[in-house]
Structure 1
């Protein structure tokens, strides 16, 4: 069985959550390959170096590259190559199963597995450019129709897929994402939080105890609601800062958030860190008094588990996939109600803190990339077996 995995949809200069997902899952799958099984990674010259260290000692045999001209740094050209070049190139490598986000116009392999990560073209259209939104709305229905299997990461996403698309429910396979426990853990030393705080003071100017938000600054992530909640609870929160970690991918919205902080009178208490390497976010989680994730829509909400795995109390929304991911180990609040978010923050910083830390560690331990990889590889095998018998 030869599986081709489409890694072209990530911009090498601005890696997304999908990049993190595959860099965790591919090595785990590589160690589980048997017989004549191989993984062929679709990369561009710009992205190849970030996908070059996978697999066990026989890496050269088990995990290989198929080079396409562009990845998402040239989105339109990348999309065209997926539709026009993939049906020509993949058969040359004898690909049996193609794993991708959108189905090419012509099927490039006998088996087709698609990963639906989000349906933001429908659920959060403002986070998607008009051209991308149109393309996705045209492509999703056809992709759902021709796919042999569709991987989703939550029951919430299953509900969205069935609501917006005409799809056979039997095609939907729930495979949750996971947390990297080698990176996200409370730390080996009792003073790990103090060490993290010292590092953040030196690197990013975080000088006080703080409430943490980690996410790209899209409107649906509801950083605006968090700013209002922080302002409402500021007196009871005492001498705490609000630390915002994440790139402002929507420039006008990022400017609106900064203006809102000034309007609310909390600008001096907000630290705009910007984007940081994912390996650095563990420092913020370890040092924070509470992590707040008040998004209006998530298909999984991986930062919830990352924070829990470090022993950080979590407050998140009571809608979409967030209660499902939190699994009873976070305080839930209405994301449209800043007063409710603020009260949950106060509870998480106070009487509920120890219980949330304990529950969060247990909840995060239920998710591993090894389990995600094993279930994904098993689905590839099942699709290959069905297609091979036709």
Structure 2
């Protein structure tokens, strides 16, 4: 069995969550390949170096462009994939969006979000239109569709005409070598020197899209300040829309909390560990998530978590987080105050146990099983 995995959505300058997913899953799958099984990774000259050292059964299929040129990348996926995958003897193609011509006997789609439908403002208009047109066709031609939560299953079934029998639920996981409890004081010292975090703090980690609800967190922090005096609010994550980031900073000024907010910006994934270890509470008040991996990252570091009571977040938290209504800053504020008290101590104990249920080895094993299932089905026709 030869499986080709489409990694062309990698942007070498701005690695996405999908990139981090595959860099964890591919080496785990490589360790589990049977004799005669191979993985072939679709990469470009700019991204090939991002996927090295996976073992002798993992190979590169070179394409001219990746996501540093989104339109050319999209064109090459549709035009080049059918011409290159069949001569390479690919049995199963794993991708987000199916090319216009099916390039291999089996096709597995990985749907990670339905944001083109549920959070359209987070996606550029041309990308949103492309996905809205492509997802229904992909759902029709795919032999199996991997999803990461029951919440996403509901969204897929709501927005697409899809055969429910095609859906395979495989949760994502935590890198437990990276995200684990550590010395909070050491972490605070590092943050003080590197980022100017000088006091106990409430933490937010996410790209700054409107649906992530940083606005609601700012309002909640202003409400909670009287009960959690002396704390800062630390915002970690890149600003994808500078106008929106400017509006958040203006809101902090309006609320009178700007002196207590630290805007860190984007940091490497490895650096977020210090923030989780040092924070009094991690707050993730998003309006919509199909999994919510930062919830588990924080839990794995023994950081109390406050998150939303909707979409996939309660499912991912599994009873180890405090839940709040993301539409109600008072609800978020009350949860933050609780997490900074005795409830936070309980969450510190429950979180690592919950996060420990999610490993990349299990995710890889189940993903590989879907590829084998699709290959066997096609081989029997």
Does the alignment pair 1:325 with 2:325?
no
SS of the residue 1:46 aligns to: coil
Partners in 1 of 2:160 and 2:61 — Cα distance? Answer: 31
Does the alignment pair 1:291 with 2:282?
yes
Q: Name the counterpart of 1:315.
A: 306
Q: Deviations over 1:144-194 (max 9, x none)?
A: 00000000000000000000000000000000000000000002xxxx100
Partners in 1 of 2:333 and 2:341 — Cα distance? Answer: 12
Does the alignment pair 1:13 with 2:13?
yes
Cα displacement (A) at 1:202: 0.5
Q: Name the counterpart of 1:160.
A: 155
Cα displacement (A) at 1:307: 0.1
Q: Name the counterpart of 1:228.
A: 219
Instruction: Map residues 340-379 of structure 1 onto 2, 5 A cutoff.
Output: 340-379=331-370
Q: Deviations over 1:255-276 (max 9, x none)?
A: 1111111111101100000000
SS of the residue 1:352 aligns to: helix
Cα displacement (A) at 1:35: 1.2
Partners in 2 of 1:101 and 1:172 — Cα distance? Answer: 14
* Greater CA drift, 283-292 or 251-260: 251-260
Does the alignment pair 1:113 with 2:108?
yes
Partners in 2 of 1:166 and 1:129 — Cα distance? Answer: 24
Partners in 1 of 2:231 and 2:353 — Cα distance? Answer: 28
Does the alignment pair 1:96 with 2:91?
yes
Q: Name the counterpart of 1:40.
A: 40
TM-score when normalising by structure 2? 0.99
Q: CA RMSD in A?
A: 0.5
SS of the residue 2:145 aligns to: strand
Does the alignment pair 1:146 with 2:141?
yes
Q: Name the counterpart of 1:387.
A: 378
Partners in 2 of 1:69 and 1:117 — Cα distance? Answer: 25
Match of 1:200 among 191, 194, 203: 191
Cα displacement (A) at 1:351: 1.6
Q: Name the counterpart of 2:22.
A: 22
Gaps of 5+ in 2: none
Q: Deviations over 1:9-59 (max 9, x none)?
A: 12111011101100000000000011110000000111111111213xxx2
Partners in 2 of 1:44 and 1:351 — Cα distance? Answer: 51
Instruction: Map residues 261-280 of structure 1 onto 2, 5 A cutoff.
Output: 261-280=252-271
Cα displacement (A) at 1:250: 1.4
Q: Name the counterpart of 1:171.
A: 166
Could you list the structure 1 runs, at least 4 aligned residues long, displaced by more than 6 angstroms after superposition.
Answer: none
Gaps of 5+ in 1: none
Match of 1:213 among 176, 201, 204: 204
Partners in 1 of 2:49 and 2:25 — Cα distance? Answer: 17
Cα displacement (A) at 1:252: 1.0
Q: Name the counterpart of 1:82.
A: 77
SS of the residue 1:31 aligns to: helix
